[in-house]
Structure 1
Amino acid sequence: MIKLLAKIFLKRQEAGSAGEREAYGILCGLVGICLNLLLSAGKFLAGTLSGSIAITADAFNNLSDAGSSLVTMVGFKLAGAKPDSKHPFGHGRIEYVSGLIVSAIILLMAFELLKTSVEKIIHPEEVDFSFAAILILAVSILVKLYMAFYNRRIGERIRSAAMRATSVDSFSDAAATGVVLVSAIVSKTAGIGIDGWCGAAVSIFIFYAGISAARETLNPLLGQPPEPEFVEEIERIVMEYKEIRGIHDLIVHDYGPGRVMVSLHAEVSAQGDILILHDVIDNAEQKIREKMKCEAVIHMDPVITRDPVALKLKQQVYELVRQIDEKMSIHDFRVVAGPTHTNLIFDVVVPFRYRMSDEEVEKIIEIKVKEQMGTEYTTVIQVDKSYTG
């Protein structure tokens, strides 16, 4: 159904464009609202006729899902607004905010359902499940699995955390409705009343879905490392230029889906023609914009490439640092020789939450340099953190 609707309503949208992203978000939101309202009405009717708190709880869960789809749809619409003087990087993060609101709605509904289910456990009532109620639950499971499938597929296509969270929510709903279906079958065939317990199980499923959805949307708001594939592709594009010897200090600034800025340092020969090298950097920036659909700023970092002494010292320090930890790396290496000692100036990159403090890292490198390379060498170290995970 989604594929057919996309062909009808999205045929004028360019693949990979912000317009396609917004259109897919609105389309999936509308479909989600319609399907969830139908499921909620059917389950509410079945729950009322049978007196089942578990089915009624599931009906209100679907009603909250319809509200969530509405919030997501509005979020996509607002996120698609063009940049303005007060928001020069656009409004893309509104999509994450809408996802967070959806998570809050899910968690609130889970709490209310858990409270009602506990009351039903304490004060159980007779439940009369009908064949129609069981059929409605079975159809609901199939519909929710379909919704989980298309939300996941579209979410991956447009790289949307909000839609991936909606997919997780739909899959959790299918599992929760499965629990209710088991309750109905057990009650009808064995006469064992587990309705309140199944309602509690449904609420726990919804809690889990809400927490998962919150994590999916809160992390990009706070700032998270970019996907490894994205980093690898940036590195591949930049390193295609033979004049660029290496890159470091790669930072990805995420201002919302489709609004990403990349900054990095590109190492070039200090002996090269600055005008030619500047042209190379400009070309690399433009290629990133075209292929990755994001803004790019590259800082040109001159490095010594023809001094055999400096190159040998750099290699020695690199191997020494790798002895301490293979996750460490160095860059911006310079040598300043004096009459009594030689300064080795460089940056060392360590992971976040490393077992040693920055001061301890500096100290152990200094000690090893003097032990393995000579006491005439003094280290001047800047400790960096990797922003790409």
Structure 2
Amino acid sequence: MDTYQEIKQGERGAWISIAAYLLLSALKLISGYLFHSSALLADGFNNVTDIIASTAILVGLRISRKPPDSDHAYGHFRAETVAVLVASFIMATVGIQVLIETGRGLFEGKKTAPDPLSAVVALVSAAGMLGVYLYNRRLAKRINNQALMATAKDSLSDAFVSIGAAVGIFGAQFGLPWLDTVAAIGVGLLICWTAWGIFKDATHRLTDGFDENELHDFRSSIARIPGVEALKDVKARVHGNHVLVDVVIEVDPELSVTESHEISDRIEERMSERHNVMSVHVHVEPKQEEAVPLVTARKDR
């Protein structure tokens, strides 16, 4: 499948997330106010941030579809990673706000227990978020799209947030009304934790970080290719949903240019077939003969 078509499919997952968040945030906020549930209100505000974050990711996916131009020779694929980074900041901001507001309510000593119906709303929302998570996770894996995978992870955390809110609301029915507020604080903490994980992954990619185990697999595959006498260097970085690999190999200095080029082709084919890497730059050097140390014999007199 063409890369740009894959990104277009990723946009469909983002639209599904936005639609789900619009519906659920409205349901939770209205129910939270009507049923006096701090946990459900916090969960609703969490979904409001998810709308903004998913919209940012959708914009990033749209930009990443733009073809290469004069000052973007590698294309615009990193726009989706930047969008993920922006989404993490939005999530963290709202998570901190939820902690401040619910913490204030806890110290004010609110004692009104929320209506049990708010717990039902939370559980229904959790089921909906799990469905969105499974759909986007499957799609993200199929098209290898990290922005959509971040959206899927966020949906999973939202499902756990809603379950936690329901637990707090049910607990408040047994003479512990403050437990609803504690659950809301837990929601805020989980929002911040999810934001941190997404931020960490996005910055790692933007600073050309790459998984060491995967790089080791690349080295092993290339080293076993016939004609590769030595593997001097292998570097890899992530560019949107692409992996770019730079390889420096040594070959027999007696090989012709054509034979060396054939070895490079085999490297590209193996990286594509085994690791789904479509962009490999191979630099070929003649193998250096090991220097033979000079031995000077000295006769004892």
The residue type equivalent to 2:291 in the other structure is V
C-alpha displacement of 1:193? 2.8
The equivalent residue for 1:283 is 265
The equivalent residue for 1:198 is 183
The equivalent residue for 2:227 is 243
Question: Match of 1:60, SS?
Answer: helix
The equivalent residue for 2:252 is 269
The one-character-per-residue Cα deviations of 1:154-185 (angstroms, maximum 9, x if unpaired) are 22222233223222222222222222111211
* Cα 1:110–1:81 shift into 2, 3 Å: same
Q: Is the 8 A contact 1:243 1:280 kept in 2?
A: no
Question: In structure 1, how many angstroms separate the alpha carbons of the residues matched to 2:198 and 2:269?
Answer: 34
Q: Which range moves more in the overlay, 169-178 or 72-81?
A: 169-178
C-alpha displacement of 1:148? 2.3
For the pair 1:79 / 2:67, whether they are aligned, the reply is no
The equivalent residue for 1:8 is none
Q: Which range moves more in the overlay, 92-101 or 225-234?
A: 225-234
The residue type equivalent to 2:290 in the other structure is R
Question: Match of 1:190, SS?
Answer: coil
Percent identity over paired residues: 24
The residue type equivalent to 1:99 in the other structure is V
The one-character-per-residue Cα deviations of 1:95-151 (angstroms, maximum 9, x if unpaired) are 110000110011000010000011101113343533432221110111122222223
- Alignment size in residue pairs: 295
* Cα 1:276–1:82 shift into 2, 3 Å: closer
The equivalent residue for 2:206 is 221
TM-score by length of 2: 0.88
The equivalent residue for 1:88 is 73
The equivalent residue for 1:210 is 195
The residue type equivalent to 1:190 in the other structure is G
The residue type equivalent to 1:75 in the other structure is G
Question: In structure 2, how many angstroms separate the alpha carbons of the residues matched to 1:145 and 1:333?
Answer: 60
| Structure 2 counterparts to residues 90-109 of structure 1, below 5 A | 90-109=75-94
Q: Is the 8 A contact 1:106 1:207 kept in 2?
A: yes
The equivalent residue for 2:125 is 140
* Cα 1:284–1:44 shift into 2, 3 Å: same
Question: In structure 1, how many angstroms separate the alpha carbons of the residues matched to 2:218 and 2:25?
Answer: 44
Question: Match of 1:194, SS?
Answer: helix
Larger of the two Rg values belongs to structure:
1
Question: In structure 2, how many angstroms separate the alpha carbons of the residues matched to 1:55 and 1:273?
Answer: 70
Question: In structure 1, how many angstroms separate the alpha carbons of the residues matched to 2:108 and 2:295?
Answer: 89
Question: In structure 2, how many angstroms separate the alpha carbons of the residues matched to 1:198 and 1:89?
Answer: 46
| Structure 2 counterparts to residues 16-165 of structure 1, below 5 A | 17-165=2-150
Q: Is the 8 A contact 1:25 1:72 kept in 2?
A: no
The equivalent residue for 1:358 is none
CA RMSD of aligned residues (A): 2.5
Q: Is the 8 A contact 2:123 2:166 kept in 1?
A: yes
Unaligned runs of 5+ residues in structure 2 are none
- The answer to which structure has the higher strand fraction is 1
Q: Is the 8 A contact 1:79 1:94 kept in 2?
A: yes
The residue type equivalent to 2:256 in the other structure is I
Question: In structure 1, how many angstroms separate the alpha carbons of the residues matched to 2:118 and 2:264?
Answer: 65
The residue type equivalent to 1:74 in the other structure is V
Unaligned runs of 5+ residues in structure 1 are 1-13, 304-331, 342-389
Question: Match of 1:24, SS?
Answer: helix
The one-character-per-residue Cα deviations of 1:307-366 (angstroms, maximum 9, x if unpaired) are xxxxxxxxxxxxxxxxxxxxxxxxx5620555759xxxxxxxxxxxxxxxxxxxxxxxxx
C-alpha displacement of 1:222? 0.8
* Cα 1:248–1:71 shift into 2, 3 Å: same
Question: Match of 1:261, SS?
Answer: strand
TM-score by length of 1: 0.69
The residue type equivalent to 1:55 in the other structure is L
Q: Is the 8 A contact 1:165 1:212 kept in 2?
A: no
Question: In structure 1, how many angstroms separate the alpha carbons of the residues matched to 2:215 and 2:124?
Answer: 40
For the pair 1:254 / 2:241, whether they are aligned, the reply is no
Question: In structure 2, how many angstroms separate the alpha carbons of the residues matched to 1:294 and 1:30?
Answer: 28
